[in-house]
Structure 1
Amino acid sequence: MPNSCLAGVRVLDLTRVLAGPFCTALLADLGAEVIKVETPGGDDYRHVPPVADGTGGLFRLLNRGKKSVALDLRSDRGRDIVRQLARSSDILVENFRPGVMDSMGLGYAELAASNPGLIHVAISGFGRESPMGDLPAYDLVIQALTGFMGLTGEPDGPPTMTGESVADLTTGLFASWAALAALIARGNSGKGQFVDVAMYDCLFNFMPAGLAQHLHGRTPPVRVGNRHPLGAPFGVFRAAGGHYTIAVLNPRQFARLAEAMGQPGLAQDPRFSSNGARHDNHAALKALIERWSGALPVAAVLERLRAHDVPASPILTLPEAVAGPQVAGRDLLPTVPVAGGGAERVMAQPVRFSGMGAAPVAAAPGLGADGPEVLARRLGLSEAEIARLIDDGVLHDATRSRERA
């Protein structure tokens, strides 16, 4: 089978926390060599709980398969090392505030002057040029300002943030997609480019249902709780001792649901005879469904629904999902060795390709663990030159620091 599709592609990763590291982890999953440049204190996520063996769990999951070089970017020599690494890199990804890279002498114009093929992916909250100005780019802020949070929650409750950092994750996904698109474009033109990725823009593109209502509907989108804003019955319902989901959007599925409930006549009831009517009469429909399912255990409800080919599911906790057959069967949390012995489970990109081999998944690196090797191999520095950088505090080498302690 052919090698991983990004084998030989060099990525210089100046990102931290979530959106940027998620982007570069996806590139590493496809076989790219990702050199993560950290400060001597490390990415903030190294220190965010839960922490195991001195490293935060979020850092471990989002920085799999990378190499770590820890540099003092406040120093001229530290910034010069970044310039040298950029000269032989295909893609640079960073998520500083707009203008910070330029202020350090590491902006696209300067780096591209010595490497015209460089693809510079800049992730920020609102983009390089934005009327939002320099507002802080936290996931929660983006959810609030895009209207995403305003669509999430119960109708009579407050706007609700999602259970995961959806703005960061969608941005990381779009940024990796953009980097690959720019790489293909470079194959045609021979030239790199600057890629401006804004968290706001990315999450805004993840609201098609809300935008469909706003642009083409009769009423503005509002919070509807645990159900679909455009169809019914499509959401969470109560059974005896728990809850389950139903996902019905067309007449055939609803007719099968009515049969499963022992009330086939519901399919001809004018209140429920079309998706629009069911949506408008959702409260009455939900009451009828829960009058039936509320007398049955969740397992019995699901058995009846599945026997009638109605899309439905239990609602699992995350530990239940992790222990389930899908995660194991699709190898979504592979076990990999870690430095110093032992092993741990890590995330891996979920797509399977028939014509490309998968890059081997590796654990996240220790802080600065790969600095000497990377500088020797990529920049040709001697052991004495590397030792001097360490002694001067420009390069942080965790292994050597432990030996000195």
Structure 2
Amino acid sequence: MSASTPRGALDGIKVLDLSRVLAGPWCTQMLADLGADVVKVERPQAGDDTRHWGPPFLKDDAGRDTREASYFTACNRNKRSITVDMAHPEGQALLRRMAAEADVVVENFKVGGLAQYGLDYASLKALNPRLVYCSITGFGQDGPYAERAGYDLMVQAMCGLMSITGHADGQPGGGPLKVGVAVVDVFTGLYASNAILAALNARDNARNGTGEGQHIDMALLDVGMAVLANQAAGYLATGQAPGRAGNIHPSLAPYQDFRSRDGNVLLAIGNDGQFARFCQACGHPEWAQDARFATNTARVQHRAALLALMEPVLQTRSTAEWIALLEDKAVPCGPINTIAQAFDDPQVRARGIRRELPRDAGDGIAHVATVANPMRLSGTPVSYHRAPPALGQHTDEVLRELGLDASAIAALKAGGAI
């Protein structure tokens, strides 16, 4: 980090990242963006699995595909990469030495998988009682499924998310669908980073802090259930499991996509005032006075009748014309963009969502494009000081900080520990 880089909120926090794929790396990228020094430990020669999950691949300076998948870059910004063989006794010793100086360890191995290497919570706590140790698994540290491997797609199915995603049975394209992003992994990373911050505060709080860290048990299935949000609340209140309804909202109307004259347009009307203003703007103020549509509850109950009236009207204007008509009337309305269109949106561009980070790993990749962290802190802003690293790019640097000289590092390389 350069001298001109603002100090982050987590400046001084050291994180040893033993995780791979998405949930764990998403968590540690959040911490790195906030200023923590995150050292990502990868397997020699192979690295994180997602380095190979392509296409698509990063391109070199000449525009040719490299052997590094773009997937990896989604969740490994601002980290330093080292390669260590944790199955090697000297590799294990290195990692224990690093953990003794760390504030946080994040891992996503199977339950009990790190005990054989002396890298489990009990072993590392004995070396460093202040350590906050976060384990991320599919199903948690206990329960009948604890030993199972867990993946986002599996958990989206098991937690019920796929049962409420997609068109209803009997409709064209009906059937359960996964979300287009591994949202359970992403949410697990977010919950994990929140839990880590809470544990650090509990450790360091001057009034009631213990001075000790703790073990955090994060499970994809737990998170999948938690983010069902209003759908889970509805089931708990009624005992009736909700089903799939496409883009219709079960508790709001009209709150969905419609055919416009040239494509699709989305209306997200969340209260009666917005509905009345929409009706006035589209030339049908009488709809808002109709007892079937005057309140949101009534509109939900008479959704079919309301849509029968609205659908022909929505097709009389283009998407852009609807947006222009409703924009100054505080009626939420917008396009259904492709990802390319979203990145080209004037608001997205104004907010600087695309970030180009220089990479000096000597691998022919000069810059890596990433998506900005959405947290905007006025005093300790997120920084973008490192591109997602090349495999093992910082091994020598980190080991020198541990106190190893060139001959000791060379010996570790020769012995296969790094």
Considering the TM-score relative to the shorter chain, is it more than 0.5?
yes
1:2-401 matched pairs, under 5 angstroms:
3-40=7-44, 41-49=46-54, 50-52=56-58, 53-156=66-169, 157-187=174-204, 188-217=209-238, 219-339=240-360, 340=362, 342-378=366-402, 380-395=403-418
SS of the equivalent of 2:409 reads helix
Structure 1 position 198, deviation (Å): 0.7
How far apart are residue 219 of structure 1 and its match?
A: 4.4
Q: Which amino acid in structure 2 is aligned with residue 75 of structure 1?
A: H
Between Structure 1 and Structure 2, how many residues are aligned? 394
Unaligned runs of 5+ in 2: 59-65
Question: Which shifted more, 218-227 or 71-80?
Answer: 218-227
Preserved CA contact (<8 Å) 1:272 1:281: yes
Q: Compute the TM-score of the two structures, normalised by the length of structure 2.
A: 0.91
Over 3 Å counting, the alpha-carbon distance change for 1:307 and 1:327 in structure 2 is closer
Distance in 2 separating the partners of 1:387 and 1:36: 20
Shift of 1:253: 1.0
Q: Which amino acid is 2:175 matched to?
A: P
Tell me the equivalent position of 2:63.
Answer: none
The whole-number CA distance in structure 2 between the counterparts of 1:298 and 1:391 is: 63
SS in 2 for 1:116: coil
Tell me the distance in 1 between the aligned counterparts of 2:139 and 2:14. 27
What amino acid is aligned across from residue 230 of structure 1 in structure 2? S
Query: What SS is found at the alignment partner of 1:319?
Result: helix
TM-score (norm. length: structure 1): 0.94
1:219/1:273 CA distance change after superposition, 3 Å: farther
The alignment's C-alpha RMSD in Å is: 1.5
Asked if 1 retains the 8 angstrom alpha-carbon contact of 2:357 and 2:384, the reply is no
5+ long unaligned stretches in structure 1: 396-405
Letter paired with 1:134? E
> C-alpha deviations, 1:185-216, integer Å up to 9, x for none?
11022100000011111121111221221122
Q: How far does residue 183 in structure 1 lie from its aligned partner after superposition?
A: 0.6
SS of match in other structure, 1:346: strand
Counterpart Cα distance in 2 of 1:115 and 1:219: 48
CA distance in 1: counterparts of 2:385 and 2:265, whole angstroms: 35
Q: Give the conservation status (yes or no) of the 8 Å contact 1:237–1:286.
A: no
In the alignment, is the contact (CA less than 8 A) between 2:165 and 2:179 conserved in 1?
yes
In structure 2, the CA distance between the partners of 1:335 and 1:130, relative to structure 1 (3 Å rule), is same
Task: Give the aligned residue type for 1:392.
Answer: G
Instruction: Give, in whole Å, the separation in 1 of the partners of 2:407 and 2:329.
Output: 73
Shift of 1:218: 7.6
Deviations 1:321-380 (A, max 9, x none): 1112222222222221111362232223211112224333310111111111111112x1
| Identity value in percent | 41
Q: State the alpha-carbon separation in 1 of the partners of residues 315 and 127 from structure 2.
A: 68
Local SS of the residue matching 2:244: coil
Please give the secondary structure, in 1, of the residue aligned with 2:92: helix
In the superposition, relative to structure 1, how do residues 109 and 279 fare at CA in structure 2: closer, same or farther (>3 Å)?
Answer: same
- In 1, Cα distance between the equivalents of 2:261 and 2:239? 37
